């Protein structure tokens, strides 16, 4: 028998919870925003973030609503490998740990990932990378906004449009007031709430459900979900891992934190963040596997996690799930708004400005950018088209194509602007074709593979000899730097 999926909380309870958290986060944003007295404070929190706050912001930002809602969807549709596939995203944090230290060392006064690409590869590398970065940031924002609306609708019956609008508006407001100080401060509180809440939910669910019953039900009705050679699940395993590498390596969400952390903190913070994050999608994924046993009707697969937890744990469980997912939403949306506004100000507005921007002007443009990003995300999320997976992974081929240009540019002299540009363009085009013709679960895999092949070949036949010292000493106020200005003939100083 299929149980109808009806809201667990009343609309009144949902609106009360929404109001309480809205007031809390906006108040905290105003409080921490007092520290953001300069643009440097607003954008990178004074470059003085310690280990505790750095680890917390890494964990909170990576425990998105995608973790708490997509991991169960992966398990529901792809089985055990689906939950494991989402857990491989922790490898991205582990890999970025040493990279964050090198980024901080090479560009001690940097602000954005695009700034690195501009200085390393010049205009040819900057244009595709900036387009990919902006597109990905908007896609992630849209998926987070959609998740907020879906969560409130499933748990309390609040209309999708209302919930989505309020969640996005709250994040815009407190990021607008406090910048990176507010983002990292609220992330610390949100990470504690999320981790404690997930442990409580996991224990409560395991007490309510017999794992043997789940296994028996899946064996009888959906044996494919337990098959270790399930093709789509195996492809999603590698696809999600490469997506996470590209997502973290290219995104200014993570680069801005590397610039904000004190020197030497980044590698430890990202490694600890990966360890703390690793079990989260496994716990969340179990909720998706339990859904068939409970006979819950699931009209939207990306809502199965909150729905199963709320059904099993009742009113109190629904409140706890509400708090967990709301915190995971806020911790990601605020990070995206702050980091993407940095891109717009430093890599678009300032590059086109005929005069250097003052500190006050940068703050003003940051505020305008945050509001504009909120409006764009809201307008695209309003139709509620597609699931979170299909929306988010549409950007997968593009971020996957950025892996090799970033790694090669950070550690090796030989990769050139031609290698970076051709790798990003070819990987994005072929990966998007695979996404369209095969499925969302292979787009990042194909994009990263094609990009890596092209990057390696062009580097082999048309090498460069970049001087890394130019990243920290180059006067970047003179306009877009061409890669030719930062190279020496191959063989010089090798």
pLDDT at 374 over 80: yes
Asked if residue 25 lies in contact with residue 170, where contact means CB atoms within 8 angstroms, the answer is yes
- For 347-358, write each residue's pLDDT tens digit: 999 888 888 888
Number of H helices, E strands in the chain: 23, 0
- Look at residue 432 in the predicted model and tell me its pLDDT: 92
Lowest-confidence segment of 195-209, 286-300, 431-445 by average pLDDT: 286-300
Q: Which residues pair with 49 in a beta bridge?
A: 261
State CA 205 to chain mean position distance: 27
Q: Is the dihedral angle over the CA atoms 175, 177, 179, 180 positive or is it negative?
A: negative
- Was domain 11-387 assigned CATH 1.20.1730.10? yes
List the structure tokens of 296. Answer: 């819950």
Closest of 291, 297, 289 to residue 233, by C-alpha = 289
Taking residues 16-33, what's their average pLDDT? 84
The answer to whether 75 touches 293, Cβ cutoff 8 Å, is no
Q: In the prediction, which pLDDT does 297 show?
A: 63
- pLDDT category at 428 given cuts 50, 70, 90 is very high
Instruction: Quick: pLDDT tens for 448-459.
Output: 999 999 999 999
Cβ(416)–Cβ(460) below 8 Å: no
Q: Is the pLDDT of residue 103 over 70?
A: yes
User: At 292, is the pLDDT very low, low, confident or very high (cuts 50, 70, 90)?
Assistant: confident
Query: What's the confidence (pLDDT) of residue 90?
Result: 86
Please count the other Cβ atoms lying within 10 Å of the Cβ belonging to residue 489: 9
> What is the C-alpha to C-alpha distance for residues 171 and 370, in angstroms, rounded to an integer?
10
Question: Is-contact 242 317, C-beta < 8 A?
Answer: no
Predicted confidence at residue 36, as pLDDT, reads: 72
pLDDT at 421 over 90: yes
Q: What is the per-residue pLDDT for 6?
A: 60
What integer is the mean pLDDT of 408-433? 95
Q: Are 261 and 52 in contact (CB under 8 A)?
A: no
Tokens of 359: 């500190």
What are the structural domain ranges in the chain? 11-387
Average pLDDT over residues 202-213: 76
Q: Is the pTM of this model over 0.85?
A: no
What distance in Å separates the CA atoms of residue 289 and residue 308, rounded to the nearest whole number?
Answer: 10
């Amino acid at each position: 028998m299929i149980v109808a999926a009806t809201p667990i909380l009343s609309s009144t309870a949902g609106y009360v919870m929404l109001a309480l958290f809205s007031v809390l986060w906006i108040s905290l944003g105003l409080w921490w925003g007092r520290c953001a007295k300069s643009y440097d404070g607003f954008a990178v929190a004074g470059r003085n973030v310690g280990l505790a706050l750095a680890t917390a912001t890494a964990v909170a930002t990576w425990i998105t609503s995608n973790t708490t809602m997509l991991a169960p969807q992966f398990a529901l549709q792809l089985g055990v490998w689906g939950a494991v596939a989402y857990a491989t995203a922790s490898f991205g944090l582990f890999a970025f740990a040493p990279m964050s230290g090198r980024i901080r060392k090479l560009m001690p006064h940097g602000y954005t990932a695009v700034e690195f690409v501009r200085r390393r590869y010049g205009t040819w590398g900057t244009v595709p990378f900036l387009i990919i970065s902006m597109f990905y940031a908007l896609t992630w924002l849209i998926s987070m906004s959609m998740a907020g609306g879906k969560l409130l609708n499933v748990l309390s019956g609040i209309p999708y449009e209302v919930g989505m609008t309020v969640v996005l508006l709250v994040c815009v407001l407190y990021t607008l007031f406090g910048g990176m100080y507010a983002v990292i401060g609220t992330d610390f509180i949100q990470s504690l709430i999320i981790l404690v809440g997930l442990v409580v939910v996991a224990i409560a669910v395991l007490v309510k459900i017999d794992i043997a019953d789940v296994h028996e039900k899946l064996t009888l009705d959906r044996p494919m979900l337990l098959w270790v050679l399930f093709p789509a699940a195996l492809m999603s395993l590698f696809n999600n891992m490469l997506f996470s590498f590209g997502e973290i390596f290219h995104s200014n969400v993570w680069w801005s934190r590397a610039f904000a952390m004190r020197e030497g903190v980044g590698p430890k913070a990202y490694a600890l963040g990966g360890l703390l994050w690793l079990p989260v999608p496994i716990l969340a994924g179990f909720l998706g596997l339990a859904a068939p046993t409970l006979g819950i009707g699931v009209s939207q697969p990306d809502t199965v996690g909150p729905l199963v937890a709320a059904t099993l744990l009742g009113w109190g469980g629904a409140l706890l799930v509400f708090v967990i997912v709301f915190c995971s939403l806020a911790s990601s949306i605020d990070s995206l708004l702050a980091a993407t506004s940095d891109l717009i100000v430093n890599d678009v507005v300032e590059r086109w400005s005929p005069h250097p921007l003052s500190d006050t002007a940068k703050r003003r443009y940051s505020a305008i950018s945050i509001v504009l990003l909120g409006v764009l995300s809201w307008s695209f999320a309003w139709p509620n088209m597609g699931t979170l997976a299909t929306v988010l992974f549409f950007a997968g081929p593009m971020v996957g194509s950025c892996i090799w240009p970033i790694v090669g540019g950070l550690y090796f002299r030989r990769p050139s602007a031609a290698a970076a540009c051709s790798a990003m363009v070819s990987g994005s085009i072929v990966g998007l074709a695979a996404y369209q013709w095969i499925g969302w679960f292979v787009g990042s895999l194909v994009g990263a593979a094609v990009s890596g092949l092209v990057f390696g070949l062009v580097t082999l036949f048309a090498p460069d000899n970049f001087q890394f010292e130019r990243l920290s000493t180059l006067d970047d106020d003179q306009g877009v730097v061409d890669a030719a200005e930062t190279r020496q003939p191959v063989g010089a100083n090798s």
